[in-house]
Amino acid sequence: MPDTTETRSPQPSLTPPPEPAAGESLFERLRAFLGLRPPTSSLRDDLEEVLEEGAPSSTDFTPEERRMLRNILGLRTLRVGDVMVPRADIIAVPKDIPLGELLQVFANAVHSRLVVYGETLDDPVGMVHIRDLVAYLTNRACPQDAEAAGEERGEEAVHGLRRAGYDISALDLSEPLFETGLLRHLLFVPPSMPAIDLLVKMQATRVHLALVIDEYGGSDGLVSIEDMVEQVVGDIEDEHDDDTGPSITREPDGSWIADARVGLDEVGETFGEAFADMEGAEEVDTLGGLLVTVAGRVPVRGEILPGPAGYEFEVLDADPRRVKRLRIVPVGDGEPAQRGQRRQGPPADPPHADPTDADPADADPAGTNTVLHS
């Protein structure tokens, strides 16, 4: 007798899909439904995972795009204090500086904006832009009747300029800056402000220079919009930028000559983690700052300080405010130098023996000769 038992196909599972998280978009819900990510993951986490070093190279991102996307995602963790140019590197001018001297400062600073202060850098009154200065001088050199203004001057150069509509004799380069009306507003921000918020504020106010103010109202640093953009695209160098930045150079005798402004990250690339593991290294960013921390003061020229195991520091150039240049010397089987001793041999020149080699900041008790990126 044939088997008449009815065979039933298995019923599909009726387990409902996971509940979407509140506030998720349709695209996010679809990804969760298809199992492409854990329900607790975020689009930022997924993107960071894709951009991680060593991720599969099958994505459509080029190495440059990966680097910039990582920088963009990292902006939310940056503070203004992480981006700013420190006070010791700001070039600023007093409000009563003559226009002729201001032109010279602009020529040497090769920047388009300079901070202007009253008595000291802790008394900022605004900033001056090179374009405003050039426009002001151009208007002054173009009187309504240039021929009449230069009628009695017979120099060939003056005649040539007069024929072109300019009379340079009309310029008063001794005029103080504050009488020209060229000062512009400056942003004031705390070092704890998120960098991305400052970028938005610069865009909204159309003011591209911000002075960083500490808790006591003093000037702590400076940030330009170029500094902010460089956090995304990397260093931006133009025709006037100096190709030789802070560096570490190996000498034939096996030592290294280093600029005190070299960052500890670059030092780590050369010497490994030994310097970064020194006591106090986490509190500073530069090699010069590390020396000051080790000594507990500003070392003097010719002084030798102990470094990490196998190295010692010799200060080659310094002033009363900071270390400028040093030598990193490998130490053999002998004991490293004791703190504060001087190297045997001819005495080192005093810090200011050669007035032509003096740093401009030494003559500035206000601490205002610092460099600005613009």
pLDDT digits (tens, 9 = 90+) for 321-365: 888 889 999 886 444 444 445 544 344 444 443 433 444 444 444
263 and 159 co-located in one domain: no
60 with 95, same domain: the answer is: no
Q: Residue 208 falls within a domain, yes or no?
A: yes
Count of domains in the chain? 3
Confidence of residue 369 (pLDDT cuts 50, 70, 90): very low
- Do 216 and 252 reside in the same domain of the chain? no
Q: CB of 370 within 8 A of CB of 91?
A: yes
**pLDDT at 310 (0 to 100):** 84
**Domain boundary, last residue among 208, 233, 258:** 233
Which CATH number do you get for residue 171?
3.10.580.10
Whether 64 and 179 map to the same domain: the answer is no
| Residue at 19 is within a domain | no
- The per-residue pLDDT of the chain, averaged, comes to 75
User: For the ranges 129-133, 181-185, 296-300, which has the lowest average pLDDT?
Assistant: 296-300
pLDDT of residue 162: 52
Query: Rounded to whole angstroms, what are the CA distances from 322 to 93, 116, 315?
Result: 21, 24, 11
Residue 273 has pLDDT above 90, yes or no: no
Range of the domain at 87: 82-233
pLDDT, tens digit (0-9, with 9 covering 90-100), for 13-40: 555 555 555 555 665 665 565 555 555 5
Highest-pLDDT range among 9-18, 201-210, 263-272, 307-316: 201-210
Residue 198 belongs to some domain of the structure: yes
Mean pLDDT throughout 283-307? 87
Mean of the pLDDT values across residues 221-246? 76
Residue 193 has pLDDT above 50, yes or no: yes
* Judgement on whether residues 124 and 254 belong to the same structural domain of the protein: no
Q: Which residues contact 161 (CB under 8 A, 6 or more apart)?
A: 141, 167, 168
In this prediction, residue 37 carries a pLDDT of 54
